[in-house]
Structure 1
Amino acid sequence: MGRSISVAVPDVLPNGSMPAQVSNERLNRHFDIFSQDGKVYQSEFATGSDANEIFRDTREVRWFIGSGINGYGPVVERDHYLFQGPVSFYTKPGQWGASPGYEYADLGFNRPILPGCMFCHSGRTSVVEGANGEYGDPVFHEASIGCENCHGPGAAHIAAMSKPGMMPASTAIVNPSRLTPYMADNVCMACHQTGDVRVLKPGKSYADVRPGKPLDNVLSILLIPPTREHPPDADHVEHYYSMMLSKCYRASGGKLSCITCHDPHVQPTRAEAPAYFAKKCMTCHTNQSCKIPLEQRLKQTPANDCAGCHMPKRDIQVISHSSATNHRILARPDEPFPEETFKQTTASLPDLVDLDPAPEAKNAPLPKLTLLEAYGTLSTDHPEYTEAYLKLLSELEQSMPDSVLVQAGAGRRELQSRNYAAAEDHLRRAVKLGPPRATTYADLAEALNQQGRKQEALDALNQAYALDPFNPQIQKARVGRLIDLKQYREALAAIEHYVDVFPQDEFMRQMLARARQQPL
């Protein structure tokens, strides 16, 4: 964790990893990775049938995410916005390949890195709340994950301890080993448990997460209820949930926790790991617990490897060339999921599983705004949640009409139903309630445009653009409105800027070529 992010200098990468070139022939995209003057660069380009370059986009890599166990992911910066680089270095094969999310799409250098990502991959960042990948200056108050991520704020502790005779437990440095298993696991869950959707509680941000305090105060981690047809078989960042389903965890009455087996201050080498974790197993089990004779196990390589048999590593489907440990601690490979797996919903939450409820609130309903955001996020890929979202939205229009989330949601609903005047009313209320969001202004612009009010639509898009200047949909919509208003000189400048930021967009490159041939 202390190497979770690093300044991108050539020495971070293994010898011989640069210069390199990666190609995606299906997308006609090629990438050069090289160093120059002590800096690392990535360059994306495409070629025509004559082998000449159609475009080339070169960016400096500012940081690498990752300690190198699985690899190094590039981070580029533009005007205090952070974006993922298109190719990453993978340790296992010792080569560059498509970054996660880039395997089937060309996203260029324009995939924003959001606060939830940086919260887990860095110590402390200067997040601009509500923005789409924007950060302050400096971006990092602390780059790599540090002591305070697990032990709490040091400044508060020093201030409290400096008072004569004062040693309040609430401001002491947190020692996870002295917490209850639930509270200790909350420290780990903040980053090692994804679920299907993570939703911040109303008025909260990732900066409010505090070791020693229930994670449920800040963040809800929710899972679509597993079924026998679709069991929870993912390993990537599902460590806590997988452990909960293990026989070891259930037999311990919940006393088994992440730090039972893991010491964050100790990272055994690949050679040391089998014996290191076998010793952890032996705190509950004995050599006689295993049905394979000890003599036979000692002859295997590695010898007596409990984790190798019962917690095998499996490929991560969403990250190429990477693997993760299955934390379900299987007695045998074909061990079925426990019956509890399919009975985890509650009367107050019948269609989702809450993975981090505070013990005293296990059966309490989620805040309705949290649930609304969860339904809305899930409905994009799981349309079965659309009905629940719309029903709750209608309810909240009556009970919480002054919520920005409710008014923005109602505005988008009316926009999709082509009720443009009603959409405008809701969206203007959302803007007035604030804080302003680019998506709200963009929806308002569309509602105005559909009513024929082109200049007002452009004004709203300009507001959206100011809040999210690297959003391709917003930029293209601005081009359209400028053309509608016959502001051709401004439209040409907007297209030129768009192509500068998104040169991989072939349609807009062709539009720019045509626009430059027209008299202004």
Structure 2
Amino acid sequence: MLAVLTFTAFAQTGNRFQRATPSTTESNAVPAPTENAGYVGSKTCGECHSGIYREYMQTGMGRSISSMSSVSTALLEKLHVPAVYSNQRLDRHYDVIARDGKLYESEYALDGSGTEMFREEHQLEWIVGAGANGIGGIIRRGGYLFEAPLTFYTSTKTWEMSPGYESTDLGFSRPILTACLNCHSGRSNPISGSEGHYQNDVFSEMPIGCENCHGPGAAHIDAVTSGAMGKGRSVSIVNPARLTPDLANNICMKCHEIGDVRILKPFKEYKDIRPGEPLDNTLSIFMTPPTREAPPDKDHLQHYYAMTLSKCYRASGGRLACITCHDPHLEPAREQVPAFFNKRCMSCHTDQSCKLPTEARKQSSPPNNCIGCHMPKREVGFLAHSSLTNHRITTQADEPFPDSAFSQTTAALPDLVHLNPAPGKQDVAPPLLTLLQVYGELAAQKPEYVLSYNRILDQLQQREPNNALVQGALGRRCLQSGNLREAIGHLEQSLAIGKPQAAVYSDLSEALDKSGQREQGLAILQKAIQVDPFNPLLQRSLIFRLIALKQYANARAAMSRYSEIFPQDFFMRQKFAVAMEGTPTQ
């Protein structure tokens, strides 16, 4: 569903810690120097691999409705529209309707007499989700993509609040980040250096396709058509079955292992991920070390990590891989699932391996179901009407975690678990710039990581003083400590040597304002809004800065724009009215 990768709301520009900016590292991917980065699309693959292609297109990943789809007449018939929903906690009401072959969703509020106080309606241009639990909608506003407040839940056939919307009215303003579409679609086209902003042609391929797991296909087609196949030359395509287990698992981990923090390497983007090369070349995944007092308890997108904690994985010496049990090309029907996975289990075990009597196994529903006992589904507390399979294969429900679960750190990285180190680099510390971003994200919620963050930042100040990320982080730290002069210097240097970053502009604006340079601070804040126009924190700050500068007409105009973008924010309107009370109307 839409929240299979948790969507991040707008960045808090007041956070103490600087976020990541993309970077570059060497790549060992299959070369694909042709047009469109060597991608040809799944239909082209299907011209030669027709049998596999037809099978794959029936799977959850391959069917467009299960990953990413435009709204069609056939789809509308499956979505139970029109639909209405009310959230009493938020005092908000919602409609989902079909009109002229298009799908629309609206949010509105009523006053005591039943009169509408506001109504916001948007066309749902795309439907996204795995379908197993639910599917949600995506809207487009000025080139930016946003999540819709309601999700269609498969099990209940009802439209209800999307995950994360139950107690907070986010309206149609929760951005769809690049990381989300990277996993929910074949290939999306984000604007480099932005979040939630996409090219007019948002997708090169909507459904998750062949090249997501096998890499760009152009070089392979060239090798086949030129007769290079069978002459000792590389076929220039990735076959996960021929990779080491680590590299094969890396393909799945890109989307099925979220950890606690996922960090792009400096100057890298999601589009740089290539099957067959270590995922850590582009994307590093970390988690805080579990303890016996707080053992791992997440099923949501921790599939690889959970598997590594199973006795099966440990007994295999790490050879058990995702594709040992899963065939990405084939998805068995619900009634075929037990037999399908039983066969996988029996590739290592025997019928005598199960200690449960045969008659008892036959009494289960469905009968003789290995995964039903050893990989049970659990309800997902934060996803309504949803359950996920626990990938920690256990012999019994209360099986304790292995000792190894609590000793996964290394001497090089004693306070984090690096879930996807490149093969042979398990004991090598990640780059300092990566650690700065990891500790920065963690420190905002876990104070115990503040010291590590500051230690890494001090090292980078000496080693990489001309890095925009480092200067931005130094500027934020100085700003928080009240050293405004140094903060301004660092932040101006960050903007001079790096791409425009809304967070850096915002920090610089705050530093200038606090140092008495209020007009200059206002101008910089407006630049931040140009970079991130749908950020509510920046928009609110602009309004109150204008009031403080007694630019009342401009403040009213800014509030009018704010109300157009965030009509559901009554609280802000009230605060604005109080702040403007008694001010001149012109």
| Shorter-chain TM-score range | over 0.9
Aligned position for 1:25: 88
- Tell me, yes or no, if structure 1 residue 295 matches structure 2 residue 355: no
Q: Does 1:261 align with 2:300?
A: no
Counterpart-to-counterpart distance in 2, 1:9 and 1:85: 18
Specify which of 542, 564, 567 is matched with residue 478 of structure 1.
Answer: 542
- The superposition leaves residues 118-144 of structure 1 with CA deviations (integer Å, 9 ceiling, x where unpaired) of 111011111112212111120111111
CA deviations on 1:265-313 (whole Å, 9 max, x unpaired) are 1111211111111111111111111011223312432111000000000
> By how many angstroms is 1:161 displaced?
4.8
Change (3 A) 1:394 1:52: same
| C-alpha distance in structure 1 between counterparts of 2:337 and 2:162, whole Å | 28
Distance 2:224 2:181 in 1: 31
Compute the displacement of 1:198 (Å): 0.4
Q: Give the corresponding residue for 2:166.
A: 103
CA contact (8 A) 1:10 1:35 kept: no
Q: CA deviation at 1:512?
A: 6.5
Q: Is the 8 A contact 1:454 1:484 kept in 2?
A: no
Query: Against the structure 1 CA distance between its residues 139 and 169, is the aligned structure 2 distance closer, same or farther, given a 3 Å change threshold?
Result: farther
Name 2:147's counterpart in structure 1.
Answer: 84
Structure 1 residues 414, 172: closer, same or farther in 2, change over 3 A?
same
Partner of 1:385: 449
- 2:201 partner amino acid: P
Q: What is the deviation of 1:156?
A: 3.3
Instruction: Pick which of 263-272 and 488-497 moved more.
Output: 488-497
Q: Does 1:413 align with 2:492?
A: no
**Alignment correspondent of 2:105:** 42
Among residues 285, 290, 293, which one is paired with 1:226 in the alignment?
290
Q: Name the structure 2 match of 1:345.
A: 409
Letter paired with 1:104? S
SS at 2:107's partner residue?
A: strand
Residue number among 252, 275, 279 corresponding to 1:215 in the alignment: 279
Q: Which amino acid aligns with 1:442?
A: S
Question: Does structure 2 conserve the Cα–Cα contact (< 8 Å) formed by 1:457 and 1:481?
Answer: no
SS of the counterpart of 1:148? helix
**Residues 304-332 of structure 1, C-alpha deviation per residue, up to 9 Å, x if partnerless?**
10000000001122311111100101100
Distance in 1 between residues matched to 2:148 and 2:490, nearest whole Å = 37
- For residues 365 and 240 of structure 1, the distance between their equivalents in structure 2, rounded to whole angstroms, comes to 21
- Does residue 150 of the first structure (1) align with residue 213 of the second (2)? yes
- Counterpart check, 1:242 vs 2:306: yes
1:519 aligned onto 2:561:
no
8 Å contact from structure 2 (residues 261, 287) kept in 1: yes
- Aligned partners of 1:188, 1:313: CA distance in 2, in Å? 20
**Which residue number corresponds to residue 135 of structure 2?**
72
Q: Given the two structures, how large is their TM-score scaled by the length of structure 2?
A: 0.86
CA–CA distance in 2 between the matches of 1:311 and 1:322?
A: 16
TM superposition score normalised by structure 1: 0.96
Aligned residue identity for 2:75: V
What is the rounded CA distance, in whole Å, between the counterparts of 1:258 and 1:165 in structure 2? 31
| 2:467 counterpart residue number | 403
Q: What SS does the corresponding residue of 1:207 show, helix, strand or coil?
A: helix
| Aligned-residue RMSD, C-alpha | 1.8
- Asked if 1 retains the 8 angstrom alpha-carbon contact of 2:552 and 2:585, the reply is no
Deviations 1:172-193 (A, max 9, x none): 1111111111111111011000
- Unaligned runs of 5+ residues in structure 1 are none
Task: Note if 1:326 corresponds to 2:390.
Answer: yes
Q: Which residue of structure 2 lines up, in the alignment, with residue 128 of structure 1? A: 191
CA contact (8 A) 1:346 1:363 kept: yes
Q: What is the Cα deviation at residue 98 of structure 1?
A: 1.1
CA distance in 2, matches of 1:180, 1:317: 35
In structure 1, C-alpha distance between the alignment counterparts of 2:479 and 2:190, rounded to whole Å: 31
Distance (Å, rounded) in 1 between the aligned partners of 2:308 and 2:84: 43
* Contact 2:79–2:152 (Cα < 8 Å) also in 1: no
**Aligned partners of 1:59, 1:51: CA distance in 2, in Å?**
22
Matched positions, count: 520
Match of 1:191 among 251, 255, 274: 255
Q: Where does structure 2 lack aligned partners over 5 or more consecutive residues?
A: 1-60
Contact 1:116 / 1:206 at 8 angstroms: preserved in 2? Answer: yes
